[in-house]
């Protein structure tokens, strides 16, 4: 390498253009060009300046004793890369620096790729976090959000269970005189139009709470009524009753839509309250007696473990602790012109359903287990059927409706830990002005005025020794307010300050509403305002639907 090549190499290695190099030496660019092409040799003072500028000895510049490229450790030029252009102008460090530039460019490209990947990952994480927060907020909770993703929140059907002497939608009486809705029109139809799933089956109008619960279970599941071998033998009737091919609630108890169990909301009016309470208890606890009697052939109703098939139990004007009217009949029977228990029960069959005259069509007593079939609905036939029923023991509504019978039932059953409980009492009486009694309000259903009067003045003891005091006198015409509030043996509470807050309720506790004005038929629409009735039911179902799951 000659001096011209060494000067060019050192300049390029130090990143100097010919112009900037010339400025540092105080010469023109053309002078530098001539040095690097070999057209001329720099003067001694310029060689000294270059020695200081490049940090090499003058000998290295002039003679090449220590190669300039090695002393300054520049990147060696490619072997076949030209140092000069065609016009003898030294090239800028293109190819020698190209290798140096490629590696940082590739590294920068990789860095940009990694940065982009990190940004995408961060966006995905933020999206997931946002979904984890916003979806539960939108749907009301993590479970609700999961259900929404799995097909939606399952709507629990409502099962309406009539009281003493009543009937369901499958009865021949329903078209002419619907029990649910009564004079305001079919309540189940109106509720279905509002978007709810509602069924209203018929169970034995004068049967015991046990037999009615068994009949209700068979209809809900689409099976044959099994009253239980032990129960049937004890009370002298057949073990099996009617068969139902189609379940009222499809897949009841199964899990769908992300693990949601299909549950039901039970609503019982009057004696229907005892029916739904007993059904719920049997679903959870079963019957040891029936399991012992039939072993592997025991009805699923009596095997227990199904309490979580029920979401809520609502009792409307229900005689949780019995009706004092049953106790009062012997001493006060003359008020309504009835002299014996079978006649009283016959009267209650129709007054409970709001009928002042005998049914003018075939009346189905659903007493197949006792060999009593449907009969023409005259008062005589009603009395005869009830007399035949009561003659066989106490497996009938008359006993379960008495304070003694209700006490026996309450000592046997209780609330279920996974179920919500609600109770709505009504009152159609007020304190008398002259005597310490309750007298009927002016708007009381006429057929209930005698019974409301009898209950409003009665005090005494039951055959079993239970005290019926003045606290039993407020009544709705058939059930005392104190009895309609909650079973004496079970936990209770007033409604929370915000009744619409579904999270304010606990399982296994009776929540008792403030006593409402009205008689025994008001809540089912009998002689009631149609709009007020529908508003009550719509609010009730909305509140139940909002319960925490």
317, 451 in Cβ contact below 8 A? no
Distance CA 367, CA 487 (A): 28
Q: Helix crossing, 209-221 with 272-285: angle to 10°?
A: 70
> Which residue among the candidates 395, 400, 476, 519 is catalytic per the annotation?
476
Q: Helix crossing, 341-351 with 324-332: angle to 10°?
A: 130
Distance CA 311, CA 88 (A): 97
Report the DSSP beta bridge partners of residue 160.
267
Q: Active site includes 520?
A: yes
454, 335 in Cβ contact below 8 A? yes
DSSP state of 502: G
> Which residue among the candidates 9, 33, 270, 423 is catalytic per the annotation?
270
Q: Active site includes 396?
A: no
- The closest alpha carbon to 476, from 533, 518, 424, belongs to 518
| Tokens describing residue 385 | 């059927």
In degrees, rounded to 5, the angle at the alpha carbon of residue 277 between the alpha carbons of residues 197 and 317 is 80
Find all residues with CB under 8 Å of 507, minimum gap 6, and list them.
Answer: 416, 417, 418, 419, 420
For strands 158-161 and 198-199, give the pairing: parallel
- The closest alpha carbon to 12, from 46, 64, 54, belongs to 54
382, 197 in Cβ contact below 8 A? no
| DSSP H/E element including 397 | helix 397-401
153, 144 in Cβ contact below 8 A? yes
247, 262 in Cβ contact below 8 A? no
Distance CA 199, CA 276 (A): 14
Largest pairwise CA distance in the chain: 149
Q: How far is CA 64 from the centre of its chain?
A: 92
- The closest alpha carbon to 350, from 385, 320, 389, belongs to 385
| Tokens describing residue 189 | 């139809």
Helices marked H in 83-150 — which ranges?
A: 95-139, 142-149
Q: How far is CA 125 from the centre of its chain?
A: 29
Find all residues with CB under 8 Å of 60, minimum gap 6, and list them.
Answer: 6, 51, 66, 67, 68, 71
Distance CA 163, CA 171 (A): 14
First vs last C-alpha separation in the chain: 91
> Which residue among the candidates 231, 269, 396, 520 is catalytic per the annotation?
520
Residues with a catalytic annotation lie at 270, 476, 520
């Amino acid at each position: 390498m000659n001096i011209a090549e060494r000067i060019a190499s050192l300049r390029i290695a130090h990143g100097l253009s010919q112009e900037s190099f010339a400025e540092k030496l105080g010469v023109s660019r053309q002078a530098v060009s001539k040095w690097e092409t070999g057209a001329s040799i720099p003067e001694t003072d310029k060689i000294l300046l270059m020695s200081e500028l490049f940090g090499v000895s003058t000998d290295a510049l002039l003679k090449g004793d220590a190669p300039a490229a090695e002393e300054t450790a520049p990147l060696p030029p490619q072997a076949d890369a030209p140092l000069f252009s065609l016009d003898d102008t030294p090239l800028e460090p293109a190819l020698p620096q190209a290798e140096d530039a490629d590696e940082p460019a590739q590294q920068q490209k990789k860095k940009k790729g990694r940065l982009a990947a990190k940004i995408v990952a961060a966006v995905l994480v933020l999206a997931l976090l946002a979904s984890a927060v916003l979806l539960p907020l939108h749907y009301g909770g993590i479970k609700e959000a999961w259900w929404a993703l799995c097909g939606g929140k399952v709507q629990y059907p409502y099962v309406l269970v009539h009281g003493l002497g009543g009937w369901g939608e499958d009865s021949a009486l329903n078209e002419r005189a619907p029990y649910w809705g009564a004079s305001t029109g079919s309540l189940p139809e109106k509720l279905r139009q509002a978007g709810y799933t509602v069924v209203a089956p018929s169970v034995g109008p004068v049967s015991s709470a046990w037999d009615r619960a068994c009949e209700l279970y068979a209809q809900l599941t689409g099976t044959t009524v099994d009253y239980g071998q032990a129960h049937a033998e004890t009370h002298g009737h057949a073990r099996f009753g009617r068969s139902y091919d189609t379940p009222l609630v499809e897949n009841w108890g199964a899990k769908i839509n992300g693990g949601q169990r299909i549950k039901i909301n039970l609503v019982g009016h009057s004696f229907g309250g005892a029916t739904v309470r007993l059904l719920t208890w049997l679903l959870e606890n079963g019957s040891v007696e029936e399991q012992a009697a039939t072993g592997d052939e025991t009805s699923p109703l009596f095997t227990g473990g199904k309490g979580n098939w029920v979401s809520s139990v609502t009792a409307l004007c229900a005689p949780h602790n019995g009706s004092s009217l049953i106790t009062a009949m012997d001493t006060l029977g003359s008020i309504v012109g009835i002299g014996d228990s079978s006649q009283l029960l016959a009267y209650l069959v129709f007054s409970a359903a709001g009928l002042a005259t005998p049914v003018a069509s075939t009346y189905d007593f659903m007493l197949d287990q006792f060999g009593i079939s449907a009969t023409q609905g005259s008062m005589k036939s009603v009395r005869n059927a009830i007399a035949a029923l009561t003659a066989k023991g106490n497996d009938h509504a008359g006993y379960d409706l008495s304070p003694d019978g209700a006490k026996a039932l309450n000592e046997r059953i209780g609330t279920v830990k996974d179920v919500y409980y609600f109770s709505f009492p009504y009152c159609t009486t007020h304190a008398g002005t002259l005597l310490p009694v309750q007298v009927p309000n002016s708007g009381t259903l006429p057929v209930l005025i005698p019974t409301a009067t009898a209950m409003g003045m009665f005090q005494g003891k039951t055959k079993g020794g239970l005290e019926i005091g003045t606290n039993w006198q407020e009544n709705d015409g058939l059930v005392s307010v104190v009895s309609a509030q909650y079973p004496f043996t079970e936990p209770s509470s007033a409604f929370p300050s915000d009744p619409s807050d579904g999270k304010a309720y606990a399982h296994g506790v009776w929540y008792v509403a403030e006593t409402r004005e009205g008689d025994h038929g008001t809540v089912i629409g009998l002689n009631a305002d149609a709009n007020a009735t529908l508003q009550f039911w719509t609010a009730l179902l909305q509140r139940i639907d909002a319960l925490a799951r």
